[in-house]
Amino acid sequence: MQIPGLNVNLQVLTAPVPMAYAQVTADDWGAAAGAVREAGGRLLALWSGAPAVGASVCVAYAIADGLVWLELPLQGQQASYPDLVPFFPAAARMQRAAADLSGLHAAASKDQRPWLNHGAWPADYFPLRHANQAAPAFGDTSLIDYPFVRVEGDGVHEIAVGPVHAGVIEPGHFRFSVVGEKVLRLEQRLGYTHKGIEQRFTQLAPLQAHRLAGRVSGDSTVAYGWAYCMALESAAGCQIAPRAASLRALLLERERVANHLGDLGALGNDAAFAFGLAQFSRLREDWLRLSKDAFGHRLMMDCVIPGGVACDIDPATIDRLRRQCDAIEPEVQNLHAVYEEHAGLQDRFIGTGQVSPALAAQLGLTGLAGRASGQAWDLRSDHPWSPYDRLQVKMATQRNGDVAARVAVRFDEVFESLRLIRGILAELPNGAVHQDLALPGQASRGAGWVEGWRGELFVALELGSAAHQHRILRCHCHDPSWQNWPLLEHAVMGNIVPDFPLINKSFNLSYSGQDL
């Protein structure tokens, strides 16, 4: 594996998906970003490195050959590194988060505002740098004035929504600049429930930390659990059994279907079509109940474990899972026809919240929202691993980039996941579903890369040696919402305020997944 046009010695990592790692210089850091961008690659994640082994900043890129993890060690008191925003605008918030957590700043970056630190801890306190110190007393954030970008002009006024919302939605602040009902600009402020997950990883045993990964974002618990376990198995050089790999894929596709069913109903409801919400909620509830019967948990939490999976399924359960696919598919097809033929829905969906393919490519839109704007990336087909290498995943794509396109991608992905589930069940290998995982004696690193229902999740894991009790030095989990939240700001511009809930739901991004 090689970054086109750049001479960097890459160390191939053991993993079912092609991945490699290298340390680079500051010159190579910027050159690599330019080379990846020129070759059509993508920024996957950026994070600050493990303070236990010296300050550093890391980046992961998705290129044609796979995933490349680059680390830039910072010497002495150096606390800055070259800014990646000129190459990848999506790096901005990731760099701001790294600055809050570890005090490492992107040099010359235009936006140096805090992202995760809302004033609750002192400006000179960095949680990951002081991981072994007592946290300071939390301050009063009520008087902190965050410098939102103001829009000036006749008739322009602001609407502040959140951070506290009705119902159970997580906190996030949305500042609209509007003229009448037309949105001129939206600016988000997130990070209200910083949970300290990255520091907590360093306090857990590697063979137990998959449970924390599975709680980064509850609607993606299978995807995060698999990504963490893939990273741990990568660090340990462990290959899981074929039956375990197939069961993991079965869990992942069931998670994908459950989320799409829920969102399709909610999208109908946001367009005043309560019938859609009722029908899709019924289907989703039946789906979750069978997941509970088959795997012990409605969301299938803690089913993916290091070395395999925590449960197996017998022939009777296989038959129930297959029959449920056969029963639900015609119902979803009928609802698809209803949505397509409903003039009121189509009037609300078509042209609303549009993100052009050009803008999506420029700003790094990814996952299902990216595929709805012509960004044809899906790990299950781009770099298929077992059992996806046998299933030939058909990627769902659209080019209009509006709510209608994102709805169409969801319908297509439901049908494709039902086909994949049938294929997995029909060819489920015999054999073990779990094997003991032996941690290596030396310090090691591994990575996990999984196509969750929102998009590609990434986990970077660094382990200490046996002499250091194999402790986790650093574990970074990355959600595709990091890339996609800024695109939501663009998608809303030029639309009317009442369409924001509909546009927002068509993306359905995670607050929790990017507030570590």
State pLDDT tens for residues 316-360: 999 999 999 999 999 999 999 999 999 999 999 999 999 999 999
Instruction: Decide which of 170 and 431 is more confident.
Output: 431
| Cα–Cα distance measured from residue 317 to residue 295, given in angstroms and rounded to the nearest whole number | 10
- What pLDDT does 7 receive? 83
CA gap 347, 350 in Å, rounded: 6
Domain covering 11-107, topology: Beta Polymerase; domain 2 (3.30.460)
Q: What's the whole-number average pLDDT of the chain?
A: 94
The helix/strand/coil state of 253 is helix
Mean pLDDT over 205-216 rounds to 97
Full-prediction pTM beyond 0.85? yes
pLDDT value at 141 more than 70:
no
* pLDDT per position as a tens digit, 288-305: 999 999 999 999 999 999
Domains 11-107 and 205-514 share a fold: no
β-pairing verdict for 156-161 and 173-179: antiparallel
- Tell me if the domain spanning 205-514 has CATH number 1.10.645.10: yes
How confident is residue 134, by pLDDT bands cut at 50, 70 and 90?
Answer: low
* Torsional sign, CA 348, 350, 351, 353: positive
Share of the chain above pLDDT 70, in %: 97
pLDDT at 145: 84
Cβ burial, residue 77 (10 Å; 0-12/13-18/19+) = exposed
Question: Which of left, alpha, beta for 242 (phi over 0: left; psi -120 to 50: alpha)?
Answer: alpha
455-481 average pLDDT score: 93
What SS3 class is residue 29? Answer: helix
pLDDT (0 to 100) of residue 448: 98
Note the pLDDT of residue 77.
79
**For helices 403-426 and 500-507, what crossing angle results, to 10°?**
30
pLDDT confidence of residue 133: 61
For residue 132, pLDDT over 60 is answered with: no
Write the CA distances from 8 to 11, 29, 71, integer angstroms.
10, 10, 12
The pLDDT tens digits of the residues spanning 6-31 come to 888 899 999 999 999 999 999 999 99
Identity of the amino acid at 3: I
State the DSSP code for 187. E
Q: Where are the domains of the chain?
A: 11-107, 205-514
Closest by alpha carbon to 40, among 462, 301, 362? 362
Residues whose CB is less than 8 angstroms from the CB of residue 422 and which lie 6 or more positions away in sequence, other chains included: 322, 325
Q: Residue written as tokens 């965050």?
A: 146
What mean pLDDT comes out for the span 283-288? 98
- Lowest mean pLDDT segment, chosen from 143-152, 247-256, 302-311: 143-152
Rounded to 5 degrees, φ, ψ at 454 are -80, -30
Query: Over the stretch 37-52, which tens digit does the pLDDT of each residue have?
Result: 999 999 999 999 766 5
Contacts of 28 by beta carbon, 8 Å cutoff, 6+ apart: 6, 8, 70
Average pLDDT, integer, range 424-450: 96
Provide the pLDDT confidence category of residue 53 given band limits of 50, 70 and 90: low
